[in-house]
């Protein structure tokens, strides 16, 4: 099965909200998007078409399970037949988790499984409108929620969690500051590369992954440096392409480690995953070297030998990160080296148990992940 939402795209496509049939719409967003008026643009269109609206704007970065509890309570009281995730990945993830809780309050979020069918959509449908260009949550079957007790990031997924409709309006992404374009853009690349090499990649997931990789290498730098309108638009679409790819294949160790660094040190998701990506690429050299050759050819690098392909791709990713001023060292991430060293066992434990690690093309043991983290601390290429 190939899973993908219905997609409206192009400048002005936010207007499509007026054509969606519903009576009561719950908008899940954050306070900043309310303050700058973007969330109001979505609410305005819903009201214009006769829908009653309610706004939940308490979404925070790395949203906690307690936030889901509050949003689900609002949903239960308001009884929407449409839930709209409006914002970055955090807002869309909260909307998805709330949708699940609203539809199936009898199933704990932590018990959600991609192998189960839950009969969602008896009460409502789900719409995702990204205002950033990175997480791909608008097209994915998963959400990432932080457990408030342990601090661990939980990667939750089921096929019914994929939104019914995704609206990709580049005008919504044009207000992103350069730093956010860099952080989210490198996340797109990580999604696409890991989807292309993961153990569950397939004919249908490969195509959007390829297009996303090509788009990132062509447009991310100009999106960051000059805010070029075409570049911003293409990166907005590339994020969704990568989301489609990972939904139909999986991810890998860069996300397992990135999630865990983010959970322990509160590092922005894109920066953490981007930092981990070159190391994950090198670690999977033996299992994925032929796939790396294919990726390199797709971005115009010819005649790379398989035995050199991991190092070449890793170097190109690091060079791109440098161009968009993203950190490539532990110190650059703003983490004290002594603190990182002390927390390696916890980061390794979190990484090994992250669901994304299970589709890595090379099975990473706790010992291997610990060693990778030690190499990160030393800024040393993976050689094992």
Residue 58 placed within a domain: yes
Same domain? For 301 and 360 the reply is yes
130: Cβ–Cβ under 8 A, 6 or more apart, which residues? Answer: 87, 88, 89, 92, 137, 138, 166, 168, 172, 173, 236, 239, 240
Over residues 159-164, mean pLDDT = 96
Any alpha helices (H) in the chain, and if so which ranges? Answer: 31-35, 38-48, 65-78, 89-103, 170-173, 178-197, 203-226, 229-247, 253-265, 269-283, 285-298, 306-323, 337-353, 366-378
The answer on 86 and 33 residing in a single domain is: yes
The pLDDT mean for the chain works out to: 96
Compute the average pLDDT of residues 14-27.
97
Count how many domains the chain has: 2
Q: Are 107 and 150 in contact (CB under 8 A)?
A: no
Residues 267 and 146 in one domain: no
Q: 142, 250 in Cβ contact below 8 A?
A: no
- So what's the pLDDT on residue 204? 96
Cα torsion angle, 273, 239, 171, 55, sign: negative
| pTM for the predicted model, two decimal places | 0.94
Query: 167: which strand partners?
Result: 8
pLDDT at 232 over 90: yes
DSSP string computed for 216-252: HHHHHHHHHHH--HHHHHHHHHHHHHHHHHHHTS---
Identify whether residues 308 and 369 lie together within a single domain. Answer: yes
Element (H, E) at 24: strand 24-28
Q: Residue 55 sits in a domain of what CATH number?
A: 3.40.50.1970
| Closest listed residue to residue 131, CA positions, set 84, 180, 165, 86 | 86
Whether 155 has a pLDDT exceeding 90, the answer reads no
Residue 70's φ and ψ, nearest 5 degrees, are -65, -40
Both 221 and 78 in one domain: the answer is: no
Looking at residue 304, which CATH number applies to its domain?
1.20.1090.10
pLDDT band, very low/low/confident/very high, at 302 (cuts 50, 70, 90): confident
Range of 25's domain? 6-173
Cα–Cα dist 87/84, whole Å: 10
pLDDT tens column, 247-286 = 999 999 999 999 999 999 999 999 999 999 999 999 999 9
> 168: part of which helix (H) or strand (E)?
strand 165-168
Residue 384, in any domain of the structure: no
Which of residues 149, 173, 197 is at a domain's end?
173
Query: Quick one: what percent of the chain has pLDDT higher than 70?
Result: 100
Based on the fold, state whether residues 290 and 144 are members of the same structural domain.
Answer: no
Question: Residue 357 pLDDT > 90, yes or no?
Answer: no
pLDDT band at 153 (very low <50, low <70, confident <90, very high): confident
Q: Which of 145, 168, 323 is nearest to 244 (CA)?
A: 168
Question: What is the arithmetic mean of pLDDT over 69-80?
Answer: 98
Tell me: do 286 and 322 sit in the same domain. yes
Residues 155 and 191 in one domain: no
Radius of gyration of the chain (CA): 20
Secondary structure class of 360 (helix, strand, coil): coil
Torsion of CA 16, 19, 20, 22, to 10 degrees: 140
Convert the pLDDT of each residue in 25-72 to its tens digit: 999 999 999 999 999 999 999 999 999 999 999 999 999 999 999 999
Point out the domain boundary residue: 130, 147, 173. 173
**383 domain residue, yes or no:** no
Domain boundary among 126, 141, 173: 173
For residues 133 and 185, state if they share a domain: no
Starting from the edge strand earliest in sequence, which strands make up the sheet with 125-130, in order?
6-9, 165-168, 125-130, 82-87, 24-28, 52-56
């Amino acid at each position: 099965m190939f899973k993908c939402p219905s997609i409206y795209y192009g400048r002005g496509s936010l207007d499509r909200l007026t054509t969606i049939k519903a009576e009561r719409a719950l908008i899940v967003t954050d306070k900043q998007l309310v303050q700058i008026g973007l969330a109001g643009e979505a609410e305005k269109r819903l009201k214009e078409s006769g829908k009653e609206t309610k706004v939940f704007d308490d979404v925070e970065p790395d949203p906690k399970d307690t936030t889901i509890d509050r949003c689900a309570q609002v949903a239960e009281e308001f009884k929407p037949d449409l839930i709209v995730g409006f914002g970055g990945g955090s807002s869309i993830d909260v909307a998805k988790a709330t949708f699940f809780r609203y539809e199936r309050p009898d199933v704990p979020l932590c018990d959600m499984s991609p192998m189960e069918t839950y009969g969602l959509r008896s009460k409502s449908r789900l719409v995702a409108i990204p205002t950033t260009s990175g997480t791909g949550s608008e097209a994915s079957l998963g959400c990432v929620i932080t457990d408030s007790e342990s601090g661990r990031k939980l990667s939750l997924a089921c096929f019914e969690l994929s939104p019914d409709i995704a609206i990709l309006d580049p005008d919504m992404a044009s207000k992103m500051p350069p730093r956010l374009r860099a952080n989210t853009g490198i996340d797109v690349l990580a999604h696409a590369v890991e989807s292309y090499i993961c153990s569950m990649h397939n004919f249908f997931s490969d195509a959007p992954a390829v297009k996303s990789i090509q788009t990132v290498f062509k447009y991310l730098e100009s999106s960051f440096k000059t805010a070029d309108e075409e570049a911003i638009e293409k990166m907005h679409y590339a994020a969704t392409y990568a989301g489609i790819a990972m939904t139909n294949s999986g991810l890998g160790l860069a996300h397992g480690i990135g999630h865990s660094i983010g959970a322990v040190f509160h590092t922005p998701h894109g920066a953490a995953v981007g930092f981990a990506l070159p190391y994950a690429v090198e670690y999977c050299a033996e299992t994925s070297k032929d796939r790396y050759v294919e990726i390199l050819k797709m971005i115009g690098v010819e005649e790379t030998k398989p035995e050199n392909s991991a190092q070449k791709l890793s170097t190109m990713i690091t060079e791109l990160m440098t161009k968009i001023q993203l950190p490539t060292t532990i110190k650059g991430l703003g983490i004290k080296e002594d603190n990182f060293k002390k927390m390696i066992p916890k980061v390794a434990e979190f990484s090994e148990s992250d669901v994304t690690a299970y589709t890595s093309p090379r099975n990473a043991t706790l010992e291997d992940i610990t060693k990778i983290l030690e190499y990160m601390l030393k800024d040393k290429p993976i050689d094992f």
